[in-house]
Amino acid sequence: MALDSKVPEGPIKDKWTDYKNHIDLVNPANKRNIDIIVVGTGLAGGSAAATLAELGYNVKAFAYQDSPRRAHSIAAQGGINAAKNFQGDGDSNYRLFYDTVKGGDYRSREANVHRLAEVSGNIIDQCVAQGVPFARDYGGLLDNRSFGGVLVSRTFYAKGQTGQQLLLGAYSAMNRQIARGKIEMFNRHEMLDVVKIGGKARGIIARNLITGEIERHSAHAVVIATGGYGNVYFLSTNAMGSNATAAWKIHKKGAYFANPCYTQIHPTCIPRSGDYQSKLTLMSESLRNDGRIWVPAKLEDAKAIQQGKLKPTDIAEADRDYYLERRYPAFGNLVPRDVASRAAKERCDAGYGVNATGEAVYLDFTFAIERYGKEQAKIHGIKDATPAKIYELGQAIVEAKYGNLFQMYEKIVDENPYKTPMMIYPATHYTMGGIWVDYNLMTTVEGLYCIGEANFSDHGANRLGASALMQGLADGYFVLPYTIGDYLSHDIRTGKIPTNTPEFDEVEKEVKDRIDFFINNKGTKSVDYFHKKLGKVMWDKVGMSRNEKGLTEAMAEIKAIREEFWKEVKVPGSANEMNVELEKAGRVADFLELGELFAKDALVRRESCGGHFREESVELDGEQKGEAKRDDVNFAFVSAWEYKGEPADAVLHKEELEFKDIELKQRSYK
């Protein structure tokens, strides 16, 4: 099947407007007769469900949590981008478009990214109208801060809990529709497969996670909004329940999976403290606005810190290496995430890491506290303020901006980050890859849509900070409601989709057979045993740095773990009850296939770009020596993988990327 991205003709600035002017619409009376299933109720799914129901469609929404407000979007901290130019610092839709394509290392589809930039401003207006408490400046206007990879301040935020506040906005909009009966909410339900009738997505099979009951649900279209697959690494900043099952199941039913190797390693996370950990904690990238990142310049100082003989405050200013400011003077501590993460790994690999494991660098707020303190002393007319008073005043400003993040850090690490620098280290965070979709956000299966982090569409090989919330809400509030209407306009005479059909029978049997296997298998090892083994292979060989030998080994090792899993996995309990181990077993089974495709995709892409760093592809000389080296002649395409049974047998389809509005050039942050 040929990939057709369905990008409209015409100049990029007019594509979306012209497209909306010419699509087919469904009239309000007919919308009442059309059903849509939305799987996932984070920012993408929640905003889509609320908007589609507001338009008049009948929506069935599914969440594996006990409430949509627990979706993992709640964990996003630092902010949401929009090109409103409130700061008057030169921002525009074009600059947001440009920064996103450049930040993604020129591996995104231009038309989708331009549309994202165009609708970004509407998101802020919508959320303010919902009552989202964005931070405001002294004049009462919405405040902005900067994030990595850009030279302007375009990030709207609510302290360090932006995701939570935006999710509550979407959730309140959903609740209004639930009360009206336009959204039927299925909490504690997990989608386990999609049902196709006549080649079109017409429903899902879901499991009630409380009773274990297997249910059939039909609709005229199905929307997948189930987030990313970062937990393939076992340790990640994702919630432990975050999984790839819905996306992987639709892949096995014909939806192509795009760019699985594009994963984001976030530079500012609380370092791992031991083998007993089951997840990692994100510290918002917004901290890099005011925090300076450093390691000791002398190896003996680093060793002394690792052994507990020195504290960071013992290291003189002259003996500190602010390595991001040294290597990337133009952007400093605000280089994009992939660049910052690799730079931290390079310093730690060279022996300059600062905690007992040697896998940490410092994020230091001393300078920001002093700067803000002196400013506040002037504002308040305090002459000859003591250093202690300056520190007190400065700390109050930092606390107002980032207080909940500092509090969270102190609870986890048991150190006061106002007095001693934070320790951070990169961790798996976001996945730019995902289900391939066209301009309409439809997958390669008719009537099956994919939005938010679960699709691949906007971020290329590296997502800029604060763009995940932007894409999720853009897709749900402002893109999908138009594009899905064009498709559903052909379904106004279809009538209700029955569930008592051979297609539903067949898929339900597949789902039940798999559950029965897990419950009845007489293995000896837990699900987590296999997940941890997979995660170690992924981090060691398909992590921040990749090479041909490691990737080839990873594919073989993941296959071996998968084969052992199907022989040796043990799932206690029964199928007809709440059974968390059974849920995990299905999810890890999917990760064990996805992980191998991930390694295969990384092996095929013999270039470095964004979050995908191949050791064989680095700049050997010149100003960019040691930096990632892209290969635009051979790899300016989206890898879209078609399922053929074994992950190793997946067939590659290429969507060639065209750059008509942005010049392909070296991505430099120096």
The residues assigned a catalytic role are 337
**Minimal CA–CA distance to 38: which of 225, 201, 176, 179?**
225
3-state secondary structure (DSSP) of residue 387: helix
Distances (CA, A) of 2 to 5, 21, 258, 438, 655: 10, 27, 14, 12, 9
Contact 337, 285 (CB under 8 A): yes
Pairing state between β 80-81 and 155-156: antiparallel
Contact 68, 171 (CB under 8 A): yes
Token reading at 355: 């905690």
| Strands, E assignment, 237-351 | 257-258, 263-269, 292-296, 320-321
Q: Give the amino acid at 111.
A: A
Buried b (16+ CB within 10 A) or exposed e, 279-306: ebbbbbbbbbbbbbbbbbbeeebbbbbb
Where do runs of H (alpha helix) occur along 23-84? 28-31, 43-55
Contact 296, 354 (CB under 8 A): yes
User: How many C-beta atoms surround the C-beta of residue 135 within 10 A?
Assistant: 16
Q: Give the amino acid at 26.
A: V
Please enumerate, as own/partner, the contacts of 246-249 that have beta carbons within 8 Å and a separation of 24 or more: 246/39, 246/40, 246/191, 246/454, 247/434, 247/435, 247/450, 247/454, 248/590, 248/593, 248/594, 249/191, 249/192, 249/193, 249/194, 249/590
**Positive or negative, the Cα torsion across 82, 84, 88, 92?**
positive
